Amino acid sequence: GDKIKQTGAVITSDLKVSQILFSKKNLRSILFNLVSNAIKYRSEDTPVVTIQTATVGEFIALTVQDNGTGMAEGDIDKIFHKYHRLQTDHEGQGIGLYLAKKIIDAAGGSIRVESALGTGSEFVIYFPS
């Protein structure tokens, strides 16, 4: 919460699905990780994070999109590796996304990322509905 205030981050939501059948504690942890990463790896602009839910086929998709620094295509797969961090000048252990992916995979879901340097990132988590 403090980082949101300090950076003036704008967080918007568009929730077309109001309920996701998933551990509340785990969902909160994953969302916190994605939003805090979006703010941590922000660009010069005011951080804008959009959280959306929608039904996609037999899945519920939870999307977290930001306008941060983004990632090079070759780095996207690495972010889910244990202890891997693309930038070492920010605090963190490099296990947040690794754990998020393990939790999501174990629940029968999946996570995908679209990102480009300078344009921000979009994380989409697919939960079985």
C-alpha–C-alpha distance, residues 83 and 85, integer Å: 6
Cβ atoms of 105 and 37 closer than 8 Å: no
pLDDT digits (tens, 9 = 90+) for 95-124: 789 999 999 999 999 999 999 999 999 999
First to last CA, the chain: 30
Percent with pLDDT over 70 in the chain: 90
> What is the structure's pLDDT at 44?
87
Domains contained in the chain, number: 1
Which residues of the chain fall short of a pLDDT of 50? none
> What is the structure's pLDDT at 82?
80
Q: Which domain holds residue 93?
A: 2-128
- Give the mean pLDDT of the chain: 90
CATH of the domain at 46: 3.30.565.10
> What is the structure's pLDDT at 20?
93
